[in-house]
Amino acid sequence: MADVKKVSETVVRAPVQDATKVTANRETPPAKKVLDETSTLGKLADDVKPAAPPSNADGDFASSGPVWWVGLNNDQTQNLEAVLGAGGALLATATGPLWPFVGAAIGAAVGYIELVNKFGGSNGVDINGVVGTEGLIVTPRVGKVYADLIQAARMVVSGRTIVDFLIIASADVPALGATLGIPVVASVLTLLEAGNPLGWALSGALGFAIDKLEAAPDPNQHGHIWANRDTPAQWESFILAQVAAGNKVSLLSWQGLFSAQNGGGNDVYANRPQVGDWETWTLIDNTDGTVSFESFNGNYLSAQLGGGTALYVNRTTIGTWEKFYLVNLPDGKVALKTHDLGKFVSVQQ
């Protein structure tokens, strides 16, 4: 593996191994305490979220430093393209000097925003952004993500995408990583900044004893993705964010980002700490209530046998194995449920 630069400057890659996935224990082992703790910072984030301003014809707006939030009801969401085409109207007035950034970010994501609204039951959306980063976090109207972003902004960090921004902030403040449910990926980033290769960093972050006399561990021993859970819990909860214009998204798990090895065509793991081509997916609306995820080189995320076993990214057309129901969770995260067997996608050790 090449020397690792500062993680905020490059995308870390690791050699791809041909190791076969080992069958995971279907009973979830006791999670480490750090994965279950309720952090003081998380409670504080809920307390500091400012109340939404009075409704206007185009949407509600609030900001704190570089972090901004727009709340839209269903009618406003469906009329968003027309509002932008008219120059933003009252929303442009409400955002003031931030409008060039807010308007550009929303304009690059209109289709994605409408898709989130559709799969959220057409009840409107919360649009969360950070000036200086690419992409948005768009959720049905649950409110919490904005507060977490404010906490991240106070750490005075930067990142190329909004997901990188969250990971870097969580690496600086572990309590924030616990609040967001991404303590492992945040620890990996910290260790990589110190010069540790990805395999060592990931193993160390997971608390495994490492024999320094042996070869560096394969990072893909961790972050296996399965579709074998009946209900969504922490391992089945993901941060879904738009990271580039259109429907380009990333999925962030407790261990790391969903990464299509070699850009697609074979295996997929959820263990990378930064968004790059392998970690960027095109979210596709199948118009039947399901979505699909297309990798960088045109392969689709696939639940083998329709669920109950491992996921790969090795199909070039969309069948039922490549279809997932997008389940919105109360904290602004999402879960993925397979089309055929109704099993939830899970990132396990």
> Nearest Cα to 134, choosing from 249, 256, 264?
249
Span 274-279, mean pLDDT? 97
> Nearest Cα to 142, choosing from 79, 71, 74, 78?
71
Q: Are the C-beta atoms of residues 224 and 319 closer than 8 Å to each other?
A: no
Res 60 pLDDT > 90: no
Each domain of the chain, given as residue ranges in start order, spans 57-150, 220-348
Q: Are the C-beta atoms of residues 137 and 239 closer than 8 Å to each other?
A: yes
pLDDT reported for residue 192: 93
pLDDT (tens digit, 9 = 90+) per residue, 324-344? 999 999 889 999 999 999 999
pLDDT (tens digit, 9 = 90+) per residue, 127-150? 999 999 999 999 998 766 877 888
Q: What is the pTM of this model?
A: 0.82
Pull the structure tokens for residue 150: 């404010």
**Weakest mean pLDDT among 92-106, 138-152, 194-208:** 138-152
Span 157-167, mean pLDDT? 88
> 215 or 272, which is more confident?
272
Highest mean pLDDT: which range of 11-15, 202-206, 343-347: 343-347
3-state secondary structure of 241: strand
Phi, psi of 94 (to 5 degrees): -65, -35
- Looking at residue 228, the DSSP 8-state letter turns out to be E
Instruction: Return the amino acid letter for 242.
Output: Q
Res 23 pLDDT > 80: no
pLDDT reported for residue 29: 34
Name residues whose C-beta falls within 8 Å of residue 328's C-beta, 6 or more positions apart in sequence. Answer: 119, 120, 139, 140, 142, 334
CA 243 → CA 67, 74, 130, 301, distances in Å?
A: 16, 23, 12, 18
Span 267-284, mean pLDDT? 97
pLDDT reported for residue 56: 59
With tokens 């009329």, the residue in question is 79
Q: What is the third-level CATH fold of 220-348?
A: Trefoil (Acidic Fibroblast Growth Factor, subunit A) (2.80.10)
**Weakest mean pLDDT among 34-48, 75-89, 138-152, 281-295:** 34-48
**How does residue 287 score in pLDDT terms, banded at 50, 70 and 90?**
very high
- Looking at residue 176, the DSSP 8-state letter turns out to be H
Q: Are the C-beta atoms of residues 343 and 309 closer than 8 Å to each other?
A: no
pLDDT reported for residue 210: 73
Q: Are the C-beta atoms of residues 162 and 174 closer than 8 Å to each other?
A: no
In the chain the beta strands, taken as DSSP E runs, fall at 60-64, 67-72, 125-130, 137-140, 224-229, 239-244, 248-252, 257-260, 266-272, 281-285, 291-294, 300-303, 311-315, 324-328, 334-338, 344-348
